[in-house]
Amino acid sequence: MAEKALAIDYSSLAPTAEIRILTLKQGTGNDEITCDLGPVTRAESEYYALSYEWGDESKNDPFIKVNDGEVQIRKNLFDALKNIRKATEDLQLWVDAICINQSDVQEKSQQVSMMGETFTKASYVVWCGAKSIPDAEFEESLATLNGLSSPHSSDFMHNPANHHRIARLFGSTDWINNLRRWIWVCLRGNFQCTREHDLIYALLDISEDYAKAPWSLSVDYSKTPREIFLQLLQQRSLAKWHPGDQSRLLELAEKMNLEMDEGLRRSVSEIFGG
């Protein structure tokens, strides 16, 4: 997780009370990436926490502008910032590589020890990456995130047995990009939605396989949750689902408050050759 010192004039943080927030200025396409960096009160700030695959350091890594100065960052972070940047509004971000002074050992130790709280208090956690990973590794990544976001995250962070899991998650892990994985996250993270429809609809636009496939599943709030669930089962992408996902689909149906009758169970079973 080591990162070289960046060419930023860091001011001191109030221990435990402050974090730094990177304000990513609005822009599009090949516009220069411009940011402001400054301390905020941890308890009162609203921000997105950015998690990404760090990647290897290179002398050809790109530059961004931070507080009117040129700062060289790793390409993966550059790509992440470029991809999440908005065209008409600024974004408040917490990015470990920039928001923590990597050359200040005392600050780094203190901020890393509170990383669980930093992620827990974020309005959103944004995962950036494009490759796929094995289910076993993905399961471990979710378990690590659950540990970091739990009320006992400090105990989780200080357990030596978890150090390699945290390092893998933030240092070398590839990220989720398909609908079955996002539904998995939804179930494991105990996400709540005002309307049952959104347990599926809210995941469509962030699912790479949905964006690329000519699916007939369109957002239609006039449909009942049961109709939406059954329509999901009929989609071509389910050829990519694994046998172990059968129980997760039933769990999704239950989370959508669907009546778990024999017809619904049979519809799920037939997808997997039952």
| Residue 32 pLDDT level (bands cut at 50, 70, 90) | very high
The whole-number pLDDT of residue 121 equals 86
Mean pLDDT for the chain?
Answer: 75
Q: What does the pLDDT look like over 116-168, one tens digit per residue?
A: 788 888 888 776 654 555 556 556 555 655 555 555 544 544 455 554 554 45
User: Comparing 13 with 157, which gets the higher pLDDT?
Assistant: 13
Q: What does the pLDDT look like over 244-255, one tens digit per residue?
A: 778 878 888 888
CA distances from 249 to 76, 116, 140 (A): 33, 30, 20
The whole-number pLDDT of residue 163 equals 46
Asked if pLDDT for residue 76 goes beyond 80, the answer is yes
Is residue 262 exposed (0-12), middle (13-18) or buried (19+ Cβ within 10 Å)? exposed
Would you list the DSSP string of the chain? ---PPPS--PPPPPTTTEEEEEEE----TTPPPEEEEEEEETTT---EEEEE------TT--EEEETTEEEE--HHHHHHHHHH--SSS-EEEEEHHHHS-TT-HHHHHHHHHTHHHHHHTSSEEEEE------HHHHHHHHHHHHHHTSTTHHHHHH-GGGHHHHHHHHHT-----SHHHHHHHHHHTT---SSTTHHHHHHHTT-HHHHHS-------TTS-HHHHHHHHHTSGGGGG--GGGHHHHHHHHHHTT----HHHHHHHHHHTT-
Indicate whether this model's pTM tops 0.75: no
User: Comparing 175 with 243, which gets the higher pLDDT?
Assistant: 243
Asked if pLDDT for residue 199 goes beyond 70, the answer is yes
Region 184-193: mean pLDDT is: 59
Asked if pLDDT for residue 1 goes beyond 50, the answer is no
Amino acid found at 141: S
The whole-number pLDDT of residue 253 equals 87
Among 44-48, 66-70, 239-243, name the one with the lowest average pLDDT. 239-243
Region 51-62: mean pLDDT is: 81
Which tokens hold the place of 217?
């599943």
Provide, rounded to the nearest whole percent, the portion of the chain with pLDDT above 90. 21
